[in-house]
Structure formats: C-alpha cells, structure tokens
Structure 1
Amino acid sequence: MKHEVFQVMCLIRRSGKTALHQADLIFIEGQPYIVIEWLSGPGIDIPDVKVPLDPKLLHKLPSPDRVYSYENPIDDPRPLH
C-alpha cells in the first residue's frame, strides 16, 4: 500500500534526551502516525516503526504545504542497542 507522506515537526525522546526532529507523517484510515523507520526494498516502502498520534495535538502549519507540528514529545519505541 502506498502512503501519502507529509512532514511533522516534533520532539522525540530517546535515551533520556529530547530533540527536535522533522519526521514523516502518514494517515492510516484517518489516524495520523509518525514514521520513525521505513522498511524499503525494490518497489516497496512500508512504515516499519510508527507511532500513533493524537489528532487533537497535530496542527497543520500555514506554510509550507504538507508540514504539521505536534504538541507533545514522542517516545521513540525502538530498543536501544
């Protein structure tokens, strides 16, 4: 399934640190998700690590197009190596 990809400015927490991050944003059945990691291969792009977002905290920015901001920090769910 091909997803329309937007951008979201958000804070991501990982290893006790919080950093501003521009990430991919997709919608699945109207639910917004930040995509932290894609599984890519010949002819495929699948959101491998994604986190659901609260739509009430997601705001479309007036400019540029296709960019949003998210109010709350997001915890990176990937395990630490």
Structure 2
Amino acid sequence: MYPKIEEILEQSEDPLSTKDVAEKAEINLFEARKALLRLSEEGKIESVEKEGKICWQKKKEAEQAEKLEKRVQRA
C-alpha cells in the first residue's frame, strides 16, 4: 500500500488531498490518512496547504538527502 501511495503522489503534478489519495489507491479514508502520516514521518512525503485543505506531495530528492545528512551528523 505504501509504495502505491508514493507512486500516486509522484505521478500527480499537484498536491492531493487525503480523499483523493484514498480514491486513487482504492482504500478507505482512515487507511489513507494512516499511511500518509507514516510516509510523512519517514520523510518521503510532505503536507502542504492548498485552498485551505491539507494536501500531500512527494518530497524532492534534495530535501530528503539534506535531512539524512543532518541525522547522520547528529549521531
């Protein structure tokens, strides 16, 4: 389920709402929200505000690399 959601977000030109992700992934809203939060915690996706709603998009590779470097430096 997680790779499918990542792929959906990667293929979308615009950020998607939780409802949009659930519909495209063919899962219920609760499962979509749970998966999106997990992917966000892992640093793979990010939430953005769009027209007053929380939407989701794939993080840029450069941003992911920077965060990983910071974690490594702290350890």
| TM-score over 0.5 for the pair | no
Q: TM-score range by the shorter chain?
A: under 0.3
Structure with the largest fraction of strand = 1
Relative to total residues, which structure has the larger helix share, 1 or 2? 2
Q: TM-score normalized by structure 1? A: 0.22
